[in-house]
A and B are shown apart, each in its own frame.
Chain A
Amino acid sequence: MNEIVKVGMADLKVISGHGILTTLGLGSCVGIALYDRTTKVAGLAHIMLPSSKLIKNNQNKAKFADTAVEQLLRIMTSMNAQIKYITAKIAGGAQMFSFRDKTNDLLNIGERNVRATIEALKQHNIPIIAQDTGGNYGRTIELHAETGLLVVRTIGHGTKTL
């Protein structure tokens, strides 16, 4: 039996051993999937914004790339994962609408989220072993705790297993 755990927008979850973590309809947001293959501890975050700094309302750690990575690692290590074995796969960061107004704040928010995620992972020395980001389409992702495989589904752009 593969139990499916849903991760909402600005949300994160950690499971261990078996089961699937999934987050539906990632647009400009980024899904950060962390996995320790030795203990089969798997964590998934669905972040919306690059950084918790400069933002007053930053209590929700799962909303920002920097704090979500920290929080995932904290929970995962408390469940016996070891930082040195944890690897990352990331997906999302699309630009859903092609804004013609180049001064738009939302321009490149997806790209900024991806960059901030890479930066945050680098700070904790977590290697990124696979990445499916960018483009102009949404993604639904599934992280399998048994194998660490990340399945990325799209509409019209195929399904990938990372």
Chain B
Amino acid sequence: MEFSFDDLSNLHLDVLKEIGTIGAGNAATSLSKMLNRRIDMNVPEIKISEFSNIESILASADSLVTGVYLQFKGEIKGNALFILDVASAKNLISLLLDAKEEDDISEAEYAKFSELEISALEEVGNILISSYLKAISSLTGLSIKPSVPYFACDMLGAILSVPLIQYGETSDRALFIETEFIIGLDKVKSHFIVMPDIKSYTIILKSLGVV
């Protein structure tokens, strides 16, 4: 039988949420070490949403964000995205690189990042996503191999469409495990989204003995 999101019981959702919490906790610890700063995170949320309503998940589909995107393969497959609004991305960069922010720049200028800034953000995304996946891997005993990170700064909808298109072949809805990280005094707000493909949910739940 084909697995669909309708088959998920509350128990399954709780288990996925717990996995998300452990993964995100591990990711937050790595980030905190890297920045030498306190990181707060909220309890991960599981959201199932129709594609046509996806923008209600984060923000308006045309809001300007940066995204670091990774795919993972191995015994489970899927996508992960680390999303920052541009102001947060700039703040994070200044924390990492000790750089100063410029004022009074146009939106087009604003959306531009130097190569150094891009690799800094890619690296943060990479570390966060890898430590998240590592936690899931040691919890479930499943092998998970992340790809290299890819960066884009553009409209949220355009960036989200990349992982969603893969869901499109099997479903009209997507399941997100989403966490928000807050670094310091609300200065860096980020969204962290992990989307295993549909088959992988069964594999994860099986490995934990809940299906």
Where the two chains meet, the residues of A that have a C-beta atom closer than 8 Å to any C-beta of B are 8-11, 24-29, 48-49, 55-57, 59-60, 62-63, 94, 96-101, 104-106, 109, 136-140, 153, 155-156
Q: Is the CB of B168 within 8 A of A63?
A: yes
Least CB distance, B167 to chain A, in whole angstroms: 9
* Whole-angstrom CA separation of A26 from B164 in the bound complex: 12
Query: What sequence of 0s and 1s flags, for each residue 52-71 of chain B, a beta carbon within 8 Å of any chain A beta carbon?
Result: 11110000111010000101
A57 partner, pick from B62, B157, B158, B172, beta carbons under 8 A:
B172
A9 partner, pick from B2, B112, B164, B166, beta carbons under 8 A:
B164
Given contacts A9-B54, A137-B158, A139-B158, 11 further A-B contacts (CB under 8 A): A8-B52, A9-B164, A25-B156, A27-B160, A27-B161, A29-B161, A97-B150, A136-B152, A138-B157, A155-B108, A156-B107
* Complex interface: chain B residues within 8 A of A156 (CB): 107-108, 111-112
Interchain pairs with CB closer than 8 A, number? 121
Least CB distance, B10 to chain A, in whole angstroms: 24
Query: What sequence of 0s and 1s flags, for each residue 80-111 of chain B, a beta carbon within 8 Å of any chain A beta carbon?
Result: 00000000000000000000000000011001
A155 partner, pick from B61, B151, B155, B172, beta carbons under 8 A:
B155
Nearest 6 pairs of A and B residues by beta carbon: A25-B157, A138-B158, A8-B52, A27-B158, A25-B61, A138-B155
* Whole-angstrom CA separation of A63 from B161 in the bound complex: 12
Q: Does B6 contact A (CB under 8 A)?
A: no
A99 partner, pick from B150, B158, B161, B165, beta carbons under 8 A:
B150
* Complex interface: chain A residues within 8 A of B8 (CB): none
Least CB distance, A113 to chain B, in whole angstroms: 9
Q: Does B162 contact A (CB under 8 A)?
A: yes
Least CB distance, A105 to chain B, in whole angstroms: 7
Q: In the complex, which residue of chain B has the Cβ closest to the Cβ of A113? A: B165
